[in-house]
Structure 1
Amino acid sequence: MTEKPISLGGIHHAAYRCRDAKETVEWYGRVLGMDYTTAFAEDHVPSTGEYDPYMHVFLDAGNGNVLAFFELPNQKDMGRDENTPAWVQHLAFKMGSEEELLAAKAHVEAQGIDVLGPTHHGIFKSIYFFDPNGHRVELAADIGTDEQYAELKRVAPMMLDEWSQTKKAPRHADWLHEIARKEHASGKP
């Protein structure tokens, strides 16, 4: 057996549920500038054969990334996993720079949407808000150095092992949090 029996070419698309396909397509176009590219609508689910009419819409998220949504009118109203905090499950999109992130924040707020952040994560900064379906959206701008990313990759196995044993935050990357604390103390966004 080879070390990597499957060679992935990236994510084809990530799919989520929406309340209203048209509203979702319009919101992602207006707020995030995504182009609506494709739709599939069926009365029967191709993979299972069951009767469950749906509209499946696809949006271009840039760089070959595709975000898709299903509207399922015959299913119970969509909800969220009440056992998982609202901040955990989210869609995160990459921004080109910190300046673009701040401009995006102003744009989203001008749409009448509440925005949290920017939040400093040491090697990237993010803003957060919710789409009309209740999905949390994150826009993130990388700000770390090559050395910082290399160090995070180096300590990742140790952090995972320690977490698996203790279920407490490993301290292998405390330096990362110190960067964010210092910038926050200085009053930078």
Structure 2
Amino acid sequence: MAVLDQPGRDRGHDRTVNYGLPHVNVVCELRVAHGASSTPILSDEQKLAPAANDGAASPGQCLQVVRKQLEQLKDSLIPIKGLHHSANRCRDAEETRAFYEDFLGLPLACSLRRDRTEAGVETPLLHIFFQMRDGSYLAFFELPEVEFEFTEQDPSDLHIALEVGALAMKAIQIKAKAVGLEFHGPAELEALTSIYFRDPNGYVVELTTKKDEHDEVMDPERNDARGILDAWQAEKQTSA
């Protein structure tokens, strides 16, 4: 952390304190004149802080403002805003719709007909999107003229986990039993309680609820995520 008020330095000169943050260059310029109150100017390249502060403030107050803004902007330091959509091939668009919309309750939000793929292959295709509550989507492609090998994956190989509330979890289990749709679980995991379905395409769909300890288990400041990964890698090298 930079020192704002170092002894022996000329307080009549401008000083710039750069906190070295990734993705966001927050700078606090302290302009201190002899015998005058300091006037901090908080600025950054993304305009995350006010361009000027008209009120007189000490260097310590300036630092408090920066810290407060950093706390508020913690999430924005991650460049990825969130999931827009995931996309997979499907055998049949209507069968897929029946599972995700009629059974799981995700509304069909968009259907796009195209004459070519994103890679430029000319073939008819349908791209369908099912919307989740947070505004993200599960999407699927049906390409009748392009071969694709559908295989039933093990959950540890490939699956998508969708969060639901406790009441919704119970309701979906009751609904599944009523319509004869098989599922596995509930499975008690470190921070989640989950059940598992296979959709009409063979993909594993996990429905999960958070346990009370979820946030603590998933907090990288408390769970030693990096240390556990490093130990795993070291053990693999030792046993190789």
Match of 2:106 in 1: 34
* Structure 2: segments with no counterpart, 5+ residues: 1-19, 25-77
Residue 119 of structure 1 pairs with residue 138 of structure 2: no
TM-score of the superposed pair, with normalisation by structure 2: 0.61
Q: Give the counterpart of 1:78 among 142, 149, 154.
A: 149
Give the secondary-structure state (helix, strand or coil) at the position aligned to 2:224. helix
Match of 2:160 in 1: 91
Residue 24 of structure 1 pairs with residue 43 of structure 2: no
Give the secondary-structure state (helix, strand or coil) at the position aligned to 2:151. coil
Q: Give the counterpart of 1:138 among 206, 227, 230.
A: 206
Contact 2:161 2:207 in 1 (8 A): yes
Task: Give, as a single letter, the amino acid of the residue that structure 2 aligns with 1:63.
Answer: D
Contact 2:107 2:130 in 1 (8 A): yes
Match of 1:161 in 2: 230
Number of corresponding residues? 164
> How much has 1:135 moved relative to structure 2?
0.6
Over residues 131-180 of structure 1, what are the superposed CA-to-partner deviations in whole Å (9 max), with x where a residue is unaligned?
11101110000013244443785311111111122249xxxxxxxxxxxx
Residue 7 of structure 1 pairs with residue 79 of structure 2: yes
Identity of aligned residues (%): 33
Separation in structure 2 between the aligned mates of residue 147 and residue 74 of structure 1, nearest angstrom = 48
Contact 2:216 2:222 in 1 (8 A): no
> How much has 1:10 moved relative to structure 2?
0.9
Separation in structure 2 between the aligned mates of residue 119 and residue 68 of structure 1, nearest angstrom = 26
Give the secondary-structure state (helix, strand or coil) at the position aligned to 2:171. helix
Structure number with bigger Rg: 2
Give the secondary-structure state (helix, strand or coil) at the position aligned to 1:113. coil
> How much has 1:3 moved relative to structure 2?
2.3
Separation in structure 2 between the aligned mates of residue 137 and residue 152 of structure 1, nearest angstrom = 29
Highest RCO, 1 vs 2 (Cα 8 Å, sep ≥ 6): 1
Task: Give, as a single letter, the amino acid of the residue that structure 2 aligns with 1:3.
Answer: P
Match of 2:128 in 1: 57
Cα 1:150–1:160 change in 2 (3 A) is same
* Structure 1: segments with no counterpart, 5+ residues: 169-189
Contact 2:123 2:143 in 1 (8 A): yes
> How much has 1:23 moved relative to structure 2?
1.3
Contact 1:18 1:71 in 2 (8 A): yes
